[in-house]
Structures are given as structure tokens and as C-alpha cells.
Structure 1
Amino acid sequence: MTLLALPLDGIRVIDFSRVLAGPLCSALLGDLGAEVIKIEPPGGDDYRAIGPFSGGESGLFSAMNRNKQSVVIDLKRDEGRALAQALCAQADVVVENFRPGVAERLGIDYAQLAAHNPALVYASVSGFGQTGPESHRPAYDIILQAMCGLMDATGLPDGAPTLVGDSVSDVVSGIFASWGVLAALLARERTGKGTHVDVAMFDATLSLTAAQVARYATTGIAPQRVGNRHPSSAPFGAYRAKDGYFVVAVLNNRLFERFAHALGQPALVDDARFANDAARCENEAVLRACIEAWSGIRSIDEVNTLLSEAGIPVAPIQNIRDALESEQARERGLLVETSSSGGGTMRLPRQPVQFSAWPATRTTRAPRLGEHTLAVLQRQLGVDATHIDALCAAGVLGVDKTVSMPNETIQEMNDA
């Protein structure tokens, strides 16, 4: 049995995607050991120009393009398309997030590439998928949050629909795309055949709201905004303490009895208004007043200590700094310090799954634009340096002029 350095060791990915959903998909594959070759236009991925910046590098680009090599090819030129097609002929996976129809015009759609590489797994991430009346619409995260019911279900009952505080449609689409690629690779091991993985952000975002979808499928009624509480359980939400807010999650009568005693209000257990979860949810406002009469004179730390000691699921409401700098996050290694292209160091997110067979997955810096054009084309296709220079002069290729050793990041990946 071959011992793999990482789960996807030996898998080669050609990544034509840009911005967030597609790059996250390929980054997750790179985390697991896949060789990811990112094909960028001469101007680079748009995310390279989006802040915040550290040492001249975009933090967003760095996070979504860790573990990759950058090759600059102008796909609008015949010579560029031929080189891209040749790279794809040797690949296991292709990832793209063009609007439907664009990849075909560029000569890198599934049908054209699979004709020369039937084992290819080809993942397309788009706003609405490759089929359907909306398929050719452009899509951004806010569009999908609006169209999939996520905004409508988020916020206070008497307030406006509210965006979830991150690009969750992009992120979940990238995660589902990587999941689809892995399933297709597993099937290929059995059949020898690749497939087209079609991921629509619309579909993925609806799948993200699994509980909402289940409620609607069962009742035919669209869920309504309920603010910082659970729509069908209580007490299950955010409550006020003397110095801020905390959350509790009480989901059954046994836990509610323990909760009532922790509050010093055992009579709540025998109150018909709180006899079961449905009754507590219906009378949530009254129950909230009882809880906040107790918590409102105590600090968040005191509330968390008292309720934790009673075995009640409770937590303070933290910001992202609190979460990432916590001892729990440090122990789990969720941020990894790695070298930056400028010679310093930077922290990058590590994929969250841990495997007993491997001590760690891979997290190396994002590449400079065109950093690996020379190395990849020489190694994969045998293109000589003179020809590459001529193609660079003609604007077909781009090479990072600061690279003295083209294999720098490749070696870092091999050593990781």
C-alpha cells in the first residue's frame, strides 16, 4: 500500500477560478495535498487588488489562494488557450467559476477537455448553475442571500431583512464544490471515468439553510424573522446581562428544570406557560423577562460561570478576534503562521478537519502573480525558456520578474 504524504497527494488541479467560491474550493483541495496550478489572466485575480493588505499583499487573496502556483496565461490568445488545454490534458481536476458559456468560448469547457482527458473531474461554480432560466445571470453573495431566503429570515421581526455577516453563499459554494470533486474522484477510482460537477450558489445557499428548507417542506409556510432566538424552542437565544449579551440553548424539559433552579426560580418548572418547549416558545417574551431579571444584575462572566456549573449550554457573544485568539483556536491550530512573499510572515487560515493518519494538512503562502509560469510550463509541458520568453514578449504569458528560483513555493509545498 502506498503511503500518502497527504490525502490528495498526487492529484493535480488546474484552477481557472477567481475571487472567492472557486478559489476556496481549490484551496481546500490544496490543503489536503493536491498540486494546484492557478491560471491567471495578465492582470491577475481580482482579489489581488482587494484589501485589507499586509506588506502589499491582499489578505483575502492570500487566504483563498494558499498552497497554489500561479501561471499567467492570456486565454483570449490562441497560443494561450493551447497551453491551458495541454495542462488540462495532464490534470485530474479542473475548477472554474466563469458564467455559463464563457469556458466554452475559451476552449476550456468540460466537453472539449474531457474529449482529450476522459478521466477529468471538472467543477463549475456559478451563480445559478449550468441550467435553468437564471443560469446566465451574474451573481454575488448579496444576490444569493437575498434570493434564497437567508436575508428574509435574518434580523429582528420588526426590522429590515439583514445580511449574514460574511460571504456565506460564496463560502458554502466553495465547500460543496470541493465535496463534489472528492466524490467524483472517489467514483473515478472505481470507474476510471471523470464527470462534470455543476455547483450553483443558489442551490448551495438553499442547502445551507437546511432547517428552513425542512420547515417549509413540512409546512408549506416560509419561516419568519425571529431575531436572536430560535424559531421553535425557548429559552434558546441571546439574553441581556449587566455588561452585554450571552446565549443559552435549552432544548428539553429536563434541561429547563435545571436552568430554572440555576436562576433561583424553581417555580418556573410548574408554570403552565413553560410546561413544554412549544409553550415556552409561545410565551418567550414572558420567559425572557424572568431570565433577564436574573441576568441583568450579573456580568457576562458571572452568568457563564453559574450556568456552566449547572450544566447549561451557555456562551458569551465573541467577536472574530476573541474567537481566533482563544486558547481553543490556538490548540486546534486554526491560524497558521507562514512566510509571506515579501520575506516576512503572515497568518493564514487552516482547513478545519483533522485526520488521525496525518499530523497536519498543508498551509503555504499564496503565489506572486506569474511566479510559477516558467517552472510549470517547463516541468509539465517541456516548453523551453526561449519559447516562454517569446510568448511573454507577445503578451501570451506573464512571469514574475522577482523570482530568482522559480521552484521556491513548489519546494515549500514539498517540504510542508
Structure 2
Amino acid sequence: MTATLSAAHPAARLAGDHLTALGAGDSAVEPVVGWAGPVDLPLTGELLVQAACGIMHVHGRARGAPEPLAVDYATAVAGVLTAAGVLAAEFARARGVPVSAVGTSVAQAALLSVGQYLACGHGDISPAVGVPPPFVSGDGVRFEIETLRAEDWHRFWRTMGAAEPALRQGWPPFLHRFATATCPLPTVLHDVLSARSFTEIQRAGTASEVSVVPIGDAQPVPVWTFTPLPGGSGPSRASGTDPGLDAPLRGVRVVESARRVQGPLAGHVLRLLGADVLRIEPPGGDPARGVPPLTAGVSARFAALNAGKDAVELDLTHPAGRVAAKELVAAADVFLHNWAPGKAAAWGLDAPDLAAVRPGLVYAAASGWGPHLGERPPLGTDYVVQAHSGLAAVLRPPGEPPAPSLMTITDVLGGLVCAVGALAGLVRRERTGAGCRADTSLLSAASTVPRTRGRYRRPVRTADGYVAVSALHDDTPQWTTEELLTRLRATGVPAVAVTTDLGDLVADPRFTAALNRPPWEFR
């Protein structure tokens, strides 16, 4: 690791808070965090990390220019990532490996957070003509909508009085906004909703099964909830395996049944730590495997989250498929899913059901809302969770109206906190022999982001790009990026060029060491 490794780093302090909440605040493993890590750039703070590592680019795509997130998002991701590393090290220590410290960096956390966009190789994406969400009702309520089905989308907009060409034009960018971080909708769709009251819009959403969620300021909720599992205790399947410093979870078996980003990312983190991960996919495979762009016949975005995992196809809607799933879990240490509410109980694959076939199981359940919005919550996807949780209210600079980011912020944090829940469960089981259920959600993950806005200005436009400056800086003549950087560094002002093409970032040798290894160093 390079550059300012310190247990007093803001991300290390966040990790300490998380570990205390998990009952692991007395860990013998030292968390050591820096800003740049193996990235060979002078990164000295949150703003410069966001600029160099692609966050500004992805967040700003929807409006056509790089923009900083106004909160310490990369630092928050690094805090959860550090907690994961400490718990993995504690698990290895319980198995006889003398780990004393774990190092990571905010830059590595930032690169992980944009990993699915990096994998797609998108360059400088300029949004098509259109206006991204959120929407504003006629009585002034700002809100997001969500649906995963085209028929519900069409029914909602027809009820609202939108013309057929506009709603047909709007569906593709809305559907693909998670992958592209852009959503250029026809202006007429915004106009249609701005002529209606929020009550009318909510009523139409309910009738059409489209979730309508106002941008609010909900109070933070507990990030992790643990429940002891019945059925006694059982031995670790990893017993007798030498994990080693490079792979503290070597020998751990994970069965994952998950889709989209949150669940697969949790399994990805466990695999990076050395676990063997087996995915359960529906007959024909996960549909996300075929989503462009493809690399070697597989979706690049899917591969970014699932490379290195084994897979088996099971029909969990059929009794035989559920029996086969239980057989797989009987030989596992962790079962991980992000199914819709009620699905696990309806299938007989809830935590007590699986604990009966695998004593000592760690059952990690990731959801959108957890229990916090009742038995019939809205669809629990990234942007509506940003809206409800209060994140949308602080992501933009002061003076701008609140709006979620079209970067998948809570999906990434949701996957990380789910992985941390599984790791905490493994540590508990290694010490006690007893299994547990670890519940997390996108809503609980949103609580890991500090809500204090940073004083982050937009980057300075140069003749050939953008420069992020760590201090306030007046407008400058139209120098090139390199000319401005040279002048700023000569006066001791930290600054970096803003990444505006993720393809260039992947090819940049200054990032190679960070992109080609897991984001932790154990020693």
C-alpha cells in the first residue's frame, strides 16, 4: 500500500463504528486506510478520489458533465470495505492465521463502486435529448417512480394521459438506467405529471403496480440485524483448511441465489476474500448474462459481479428444485439471497428451513427495505431507496433541488453490508459453533453514508477536459488540463484530472495495480 496509511483515516473511523455496531469493536486486527493505495496519483481527499476513479464521470453522465457527489461516498464505501477486511482477518485468526492488520484505500473502494461501469468499457457517454428523473407533481412534490415491467409502465402513463409515442420512447432509457447511469426521458412525460397532484399520481401508481416514492428525509435505520438460528450448532466446513493471508475465506462455501447488483456483489466480495461461491440460477441461466455489451459471449456487467463463481440451474418454483437447493445448502457455510419479500417463506427456504438441513448455517438475506415499510413496501430498488432514505436530499450541492444519483449508490453499499453481515456471522460461528441470520437492506445500507455535505465544487473546465481542485479556485484562462495541473502543483495545491472516459482509466498504468487485485492487503 502507498500514501498515508493511517488507522485515524476517516474511513477507518467509520469502519470502527461499524465494527462496534457488530460487536467486534475489540478486534485485534488494525484497520489501516489511505486515500490512494496502489493508485499512482496524488489523491489526498474525497473530491480527488471521486474525480480520478470515475465517480464524478458516472454520476454526471445524466447531465452531460462530470459532477461530484456532495457527500463522502467513496469514504463511506471504504469504511464498509475496511470492516469487511477486519472481519475476514478475524475469521482467519480464529483458524490459526496470524493476521495483525488489513490495509485498503478510498481509491480502491471507489473503483469497486464503479466496477460494473468499468467492465462495460463505456467511453464518454453523452446523454440523448431528454430530461432525467426525478419528477415534480403539480403541487410541488419531488418523487421517483419504479417498475420492472413494461406493461405496468404503459398502464401507468396511459392513466396519466401520456401519448403512446412518448411512453414507448421513454421505456428503453428508463429500463436501462441502472446500466448506463443515464435516463433521458421525453419532456412531455415530465409535463404530464407536473399537471397532476401527487395524490392522483400515487393513486395511478397503485392501480398500475408502479411504485411512487417521494424524495424524503427518513431517519437512519440499523445497518445489520442478527437472529440466532434454531437447530443447534454445526462445524465449519472450512475447518482444517489453511486460508493463508491471501485468501482468509479459503475453504468457505457460499451458495448464492441473487440477481441484479446487491446480492451478486455480496457474493463477489466473499469470493474476492477466497470463498467458493456457487450461484443458483433459473433454467436457461440468469437473464442478465445476455445483456450487452458482451465479452466472450457473456454480459460484461454480469461478469464484473459474477466472474469466478460456479453456477447451477434450478427451478425454485418447483418442489424438486427446492429440494436440490437444500442439498446444496447442506454442504455450505453461507446461504445468500436477495429475493422479494415473502419468497423465502413461500418456497420453504427461509432461515429455519435451511438451518434444519445445515446446522451452523449463516443465512444472509438482503432486501430493499427490510421490515421498515411494512408488509407491502414499494419496489426496493436503488433510486427509490435513495429518494426515501434522505440520500437524494444531500447528494447535490447546496442550493440545488434534491435528486437521486443515477449511479447505483445503494446497490453497491447494499452488497457490501450484506457481505459484512455474512462475515460477522462466520466470525460468530467460528467462536460459538452457532449459526445465525443476518438481515440487511438497501435502506439500511444508505444509513452508512454520512449526511454532512462536503464543500465540493464542480471541477474546473479546461481546454481539453476537467480538473478537480481540492481547494476553492477562481475561474482560469482556458489552459489545457496538463497546463493547469502543472500550475496548481507548482503552488502546492492538490489537483487531478477528472476521468471522463472509463476506457482510458482501465488502460491507464497508474490504475493497473489497483484493478488487478482484491481491495485488501492482509499482513
Q: Would you call these one fold, judging by a TM-score over 0.5?
A: yes
2:466 matched residue in structure 1: 245
User: Aligned in 2, Cα 1:165/1:307: closer, same or farther, shift over 3 Å?
Assistant: farther
Contact 1:39 / 1:70 at 8 angstroms: preserved in 2? yes
Contact 1:240 1:296 in 2 (8 A): no
Cα deviation code 1:28-56 (max 9, x no counterpart): 11122211111111142231232222233
* Residue correspondence of structure 1 range 110-125 to structure 2 within 5 A: 110-125=351-366
Question: Deviation of residue 157 (structure 1)?
Answer: 5.5
In structure 2, the partner of 1:12 is: 253
Q: Distance in 2 between matches of 1:81 and 1:188?
A: 25
Q: CA deviation at 1:77?
A: 1.7
- Counterparts of 1:74 and 1:44 in 2: how far apart (Å)? 10
Matches of 1:43 and 1:100, distance apart in 2: 24
| Match for residue 311 of structure 2 among 46, 70, 74 | 70
Q: 1:39-86, CA deviations, whole angstroms, 9 ceiling, x for partnerless residues?
A: 111142231232222233111111111121111111122222111112
Is the aligned partner of 1:354 residue 2:515? no
Counterpart of 2:425?
184
Q: Match of 2:393, SS?
A: coil
| Aligned 1:353-392 pairs, distance under 5 A | 353-356=520-523
Deviations 1:204-238 (A, max 9, x none): 0232x21x1xx4xxxxxxx6xxxxxx44x7xx652
Q: Does 2:507 correspond to 1:325?
A: yes
Distance 1:157 1:4, change over 3 A: closer
- Structure with higher Rg: it is 1
Find the counterpart in structure 2 of residue 300 from structure 1.
481
User: Over aligned residues, Cα RMSD in angstroms?
Assistant: 2.4
- Where in structure 2 are the equivalents of 1:325-344 lying within 5 Å? 325-332=507-514, 334-335=515-516
Q: Is the 8 A contact 1:127 1:135 kept in 2?
A: no
Displacement of 1:240 in angstroms is 3.5
Query: Is 1:141 aligned to residue 382 of structure 2?
Result: yes
Structure 1 residues 49, 313: CA separation in 2 closer, same or farther (over 3 Å shift)?
same
Give the match for residue 197 of structure 1: 438
Q: 1:162 to 1:130 in 2, by over 3 A?
A: closer
Q: Does 2:391 align with 1:170?
A: no
Secondary structure at the counterpart of residue 391 of structure 2: coil
| Contact 2:359-2:434 at 8 Å conserved across structures | yes
**TM-score normalized with structure 2 length:** 0.50
Q: Deviation per CA, 1:95-140, whole angstroms, max 9, x where unpaired?
A: 0001121011111111211133231111111100145426643222
Q: Work out the CA distance in 1 between the residues paired with 2:439 and 2:270.
A: 17
The aligned amino acid for 2:510 is Q
Structure-1 separation of matches of 2:426 and 2:440: 16
Are 2:339 and 2:367, in contact at CA under 8 Å, matched by a contact in 1?
A: yes
Q: Given that residues 396 and 403 in structure 2 are in contact (C-alpha distance below 8 angstroms), is that contact kept between their aligned partners in structure 1? A: yes
Letter in 2 for 1:352: P
Per the alignment, residue 401 of structure 1 pairs with none
Written as runs of structure 1 = structure 2, the 5 A alignment for 1:89-128 is 89-128=330-369
Match of 2:494 among 283, 289, 313: 313
Distance 1:172 1:132 in 2: 20
Unaligned runs of 5+ in 2: 1-95, 97-240
How many residues are paired up? 281
Corresponding residue SS for 2:499: coil
Q: Tell me the alpha carbon deviations over residues 236-288 of structure 1, each in whole angstroms, 9 at most, x when there is no partner.
A: 652334444311223xxxxxxxxxxxxxxxxxxxxxxxxxxxxxxxxxxxx75
195-204 or 43-52, which deviates more: 43-52
**Does structure 1 retain, via aligned residues, the 8 Å contact 2:271–2:309?**
yes
DSSP-derived class of the 2:447 partner: helix
Distance 1:175 1:135 in 2: 25
Contact between 1:31 and 1:67, CA under 8 Å: does it hold in 2? no
Gaps of 5+ in 1: 216-222, 224-229, 251-286, 336-349, 357-416
Retained in 2: the 8 A contact 1:181–1:197?
yes
Aligned partner of 2:278 in structure 1 is 37
Counterpart Cα distance in 1 of 2:313 and 2:378: 27
